Amino acid sequence: MALLMAAAVVRATPVPDQPQATGTISGRVTLTTRMRGVPIATSAYAPRTVTRQGSPGAPEMRSVIVYLKDVTFQGTLSATPASIRQEQESFSPRVVAVTRGSTVDFPNFDPYFHNVFSLSRTATFDLGRYPSGQTRTRRFDRPGLVKVYCHIHSQMSATILVLDHPYFTTPGDDGSFTLAGVPPGEYTLVGWHERVGEQLSPVTVRAGSTTAAAISLPVNDAP
C-alpha cells in the first residue's frame, strides 16, 4: 500500500512549463536615394541639428536600428550597457539602442573638455564638463528617444533609443540583420534612421521558422 501511495504522489507532481517555441526575423536594410525636392515622410525625433557629422569612416548603416514596435515583453529584461565616445569633436557611435534600465558611458578621448546633456522628455540631464580621460555615465529608466548634445561643441549630437524589450539590433555594414527568440505573432517591424525616422513593415512570426524581411530607407540625396 505504501508503495502504491508513493507512486501516486510522483504521478501527481506537476510538470514544469516548457519554454515557448519562438521564431526569427532575418533580412536586410537597404539605404536608398530619394529624389531631390521630395520630402521624407518622417517620424524622426526633432533635433537641434541632424548633420552628417561623425567619426571619419563610420558607415551610414551604423545610424540604423531595426526593432519591433509596441511589444509587450513578458520575461526579465536584461540590461544592455553601451558606450558613446567623444572623439574628434563627435559622438561615436552617434546612434545606440539599449534596454530600459541600462547605462550608457560617455568617455572623453579628445584632448579638451566635453559635456553631455539632454532636454528630451524621456530623460533630461546634464553631466557637466569633464576633461580628457574621464567618463560620465547615465542610466536610462524610461523607454523612448533621447537626443544628447555637448554644450561646448554645438555640432555634436547623438541619439539613444531606449526600448522595453530585447527585440532590436543594429544591422551589419552590409545591411543584414537578425532578430531571434521572437514569440509567434503579428508584429510591426521598424527600420529607424536619425534623418528618416520610422519605416514600418508588418511581419508574421511562426514558431521554429525564419521570417524574411526587407527594409528600405531613403537617407541619401540624389546628386
At 221, the pLDDT band (50, 70, 90 cuts) reads low
Find, among 191, 187, 194, the residue nearest to 216 by Cα: 191
Which three three-digit cell numbers place residue 142? 524610461
Please choose, from the candidates 29, 32, 194, the residue with its C-alpha nearest in 3D space to the C-alpha of residue 97: 194
Of 59, 58, 48, 70, which is closest to residue 159 (Cα–Cα)? 48
Q: Report the relative pairing of strands 157-163 and 95-99 from DSSP bridges.
A: parallel
Q: 6: pLDDT confidence band, cut at 50, 70 and 90?
A: very low
The chain-wide mean pLDDT, for the chain, equals: 85
φ/ψ of 133, rounded to 5, equals 90, -10
Sign of the torsion formed by the C-alpha atoms of 46, 52, 57 and 61: positive
**Residue 159: all three cell numbers together:** 541619439
CA 88 to chain centre: 24
Q: Is the pLDDT of residue 220 over 90?
A: no
pLDDT of residue 57: 52
Which residue segments constitute the domains of the chain, with CATH numbers given? Answer: 22-221 (2.60.40.420)
- Please check whether residue 181 is in contact with residue 168, taking contact to mean a CB–CB distance below 8 angstroms: no
| Residue 1: predicted pLDDT | 43
Q: Is 70 helix (H, G, I), strand (E, B) or coil?
A: coil
What integer pLDDT is reported at residue 19 of this predicted model?
57
Q: Are 200 and 189 in contact (CB under 8 A)?
A: yes
Strand 23-34 relative to strand 185-193, pairing: unpaired
pLDDT of residue 168: 98
pLDDT tens-digit readout, 125-135: 999 999 999 99
User: Does the predicted model carry a pTM greater than 0.95?
Assistant: no
Which residues partner with 216 through β-bridges?
Answer: 30
In the block, which residue shows the cell 549630437?
157
Residue 9: pLDDT over 90? no
Closest residue by Cα to residue 108 from 94, 129, 123? 129
Q: Say which residue, 101 or 51, is predicted with more confidence.
A: 101
